[in-house]
Amino acid sequence: MDWQGMMETYGYLGVVVAIIMPFLPSEVPLAYAGYLVHKTELSLVLMVMLALLTFIVTQNIFFSIGRFGSDRALHWIFRTFRISETRMNQFKANMDSRGKYILLFSPLWRMGFAIGAGLTGVSRAAFTIATALSFFAWSLFFIWTGKLLGARWHVIVEGPSKEWIAVFLTGVVLAFVWIRWRRKKMRNN
C-alpha cells in the first residue's frame, strides 16, 4: 500500500504514520492531509493538532538520540539517513554563533536539527517550545494549503492552458538569453 492509500484508509492514524516516515518530506503528507480534510469528514483542527503532536514526539526522540546516543549509534544514523557530519558541525557552529532561535527553522531539516540540538546541549524545554512553535506554523500552512487545493482540484487536473504554457516557456527562454548575455558582458569587462 502506498502512503496516500494508507492515509486515506486509516485517516488520522495514516497521517501520523506518513509524518513519521523519515524518507518522505513532511510537506507531502501534510498537504495531502489537507486534501483529505477537504475530501472527507476529517477535522482541520484535529489534523493540525495531531500533526503537531506527532512532530513534537518524533523530534524529541531524535533529540534524545543526539543527547544520549553513543558515537557508534550516531555514526550509524548519519550513514543510514545520509546526514553528513560536516553539515552537523555547521549546525553546531550556527547554534553557537546565532543562538537557539535557529531551532525555529527545524522543519527544514527535521532529523538533523533535532539530533544537532541534542548534541549541542540545548535544554529539552527550549527545544520542545521551538519545535512546537515552528511545526505548528508549518503544519497549519501545509494542511490549509492542501485543503484549499482540494477545493480547486478540478483546476489542477485540467492543467494550464496552452497560452499560459507558451508565456511560461517564453519567459524561461528570455531569462536564459539574458543570463547568458550578462555572463558574457561580465567576462568582457
Q: Would you say residue 141 has pLDDT above 80?
A: yes
CB atoms within 10 A of CB 24: 12
**pTM for this model (two decimals):** 0.69
What's the confidence (pLDDT) of residue 131? 87
Radius of gyration (C-alpha) of the chain in whole angstroms: 21
User: Residue ranges of the domains in the chain?
Assistant: 3-158, 159-189
pLDDT above 90: percentage of residues in the chain? 12
Three cell numbers written together for 145: 494549503
Terminal-residue alpha carbon distance, the chain: 59
Q: Would you say residue 49 has pLDDT above 90?
A: yes
Three cell numbers written together for 53: 503532536
**CA separation for the pair 171, 88 (Å, rounded):** 39
| CA dist 102 → 65, 66, 88, 106, 160 (Å) | 20, 17, 14, 8, 38
**CA separation for the pair 134, 158 (Å, rounded):** 34
Q: Would you say residue 102 has pLDDT above 80?
A: no
What's the confidence (pLDDT) of residue 106? 67
What would the pLDDT profile of 146-189 be if each residue is shown by its tens digit? 898 887 766 665 666 777 788 888 999 999 998 888 888 888 76
Confidence of residue 107 (pLDDT cuts 50, 70, 90): low
Three cell numbers written together for 23: 524518507
